[in-house]
Amino acid sequence: MSETPADLKYTKSHEWVRDAGDGTVTMGITDHAQAALGDLVFVEVPEVGRKLAVGDACAVVESVKAASDVYCPVSGEVVEANEGLADAPEKVNDAPYGDGWLVKIRLDDDAGMDALLDPAAYAAILDE
C-alpha cells in the first residue's frame, strides 16, 4: 500500500504538492509513482526562474525501467530546485515526500491548487 500523507494535495498523474503557507509550494512524485518506476538512476529538475503552467512537463525521472516526464500541477515560478538529486536520484525512492522533493514554486494567483485532489480522493484512484 502506498503512503499518502494527509497534509498534501495530489494529481491523477501521481505528483504531490505541499503548501508552505507563504505563497510557495514544494512538489514531487508520489510514493506510488516511485514504486511503479523502480530504482531511479537519473532526475532532471527545472532551472530556478523558469515559469511553469499547470500541465507543463517540468522534470524528468528515469529508472532502470523507463523515463517519465513529471507534470507541473500548479502555475508559478521555480524558486528552488533539488539539485542534489543529480548525484543522488535514489532520494526520490527513499523519501519521495522528504529529501526526494523535486522543486519549489512561487504560486501565481490562479495557481490551480483548487483542482488538486485531497488524500482521500487520491487514495480512491489508487484503489481503482
Answer for the pair 15, 29: CB distance below 8 angstroms, yes or no.
Answer: yes
Instruction: List, in order of start, the domains of the chain with CATH numbers.
Output: 19-109 (2.40.50.100)
CA 113 to chain centre: 13
Q: Let me know the angle formed at the C-alpha of 60 by 125 and 1, rounded to the nearest 5 degrees.
A: 30
Q: What is the Cα–Cα distance from 86 to 98, expressed in whole angstroms?
A: 16
**pLDDT digits over 21-77, tens only?**
999 999 999 999 999 999 999 999 999 999 999 999 999 999 998 999 999 999 999
Give the number of other Cβ atoms within 10 Å of residue 56's Cβ. Answer: 17
Q: For 57, which DSSP code?
A: E
Q: For 64, which DSSP code?
A: S
**pLDDT digits over 83-103, tens only?**
999 999 999 999 999 999 999
The pTM score is 0.94
Residue 23: all three cell numbers together: 505563497
